[in-house]
Amino acid sequence: MLQLLLYILLLVPVMNKADSDNPGPAMDEQLSLYTALNLSEKGLTSDVFQLAMKGYRKLETDGKLPHADILTIVDFSQSSKKKRLYVIDLVKKVLLFNTYVAHGRNTGDEYAKHFSNVSGSYQSSLGFYLTREEIVGSGVGLSLILDGLEKGFNDNALKREIIMHGAEYATENFIRKTGRLGRSFGCPSLPPDLIKPVVETIKEGTCFFIYQQNQHYIRHSRLLN
């Protein structure tokens, strides 16, 4: 009996370690959330969502997200005619916003293809950002500062004054006139009527992820590898 008790005591730590190393439940939870939010019907693929969650969880684990309840995903692999910005409340499991978002002037026309971390490029930058405080931008009104967290991909965002702001060229009416959204100087621009509620929801320490199927970024991002 004593030998059996000792065997069980030795086995329990091994079982617990096996459970802690098993990523199954976390992945199942992600897929469950993806399905519950009907993200597929809204144009966001499971692969993009899982990449966003992978970087988000690393940032959360490293203590770099003061407010870890909100995740914003900008999916620039989609046409600019699609509502490709998603704001998700991970605690309440609710899709709070799904709307249009413009990319940089030199990033592409209908589709975003070219990205840069260089000032004056007028291109968007890929990767994970930390949202900061709201400001009133010169000529663009209420805006949100974005702090790039990925060296070589978006860490010049503050220097480049990359902010999220409202713009008339980021509206459905503009799409009807031109066949696509207008473009910014590199900032993710939203419809003017949504900038205030979105900024108020995601400001001051939430995770903001800009994605496109750029293999160089996907292979070299420290948050995805």
Residue 6 lies in a domain: yes
pTM: 0.88
Distances (CA, A) of 26 to 30, 94, 147: 6, 18, 28
20 with 100, same domain: the answer is no
Q: Specify if 225 maps to a domain.
A: no
Q: At what angle do helices 46-61 and 24-36 cross, to 10 degrees?
A: 120
pLDDT tens, 141-168? 999 999 999 999 999 999 999 999 999 9
Quickly list DSSP for 180-194. Answer: S---BSS--EE-HHH
Same domain, 135 and 184: yes
pLDDT at residue 40 is higher than 50: yes
Do 14 and 90 belong together in one domain? Answer: no
Q: Is 22 helix (H, G, I), strand (E, B) or coil?
A: coil
Same domain, residue pair 215 and 126: yes
Q: What is the mean pLDDT of the chain?
A: 91
Question: Could you report the per-residue pLDDT of 167-219, keeping only the tens digit for each?
Answer: 999 999 999 999 999 999 999 999 999 999 999 999 999 999 999 999 999 99
Domains identified in the chain, total number: 2
**Residue 184 shares a structural domain with residue 83:** yes
Domain that holds residue 84: 47-220
Classify residue 41: in a domain, yes or no. Answer: no
**pLDDT grade for 138, boundaries at 50, 70 and 90:** confident
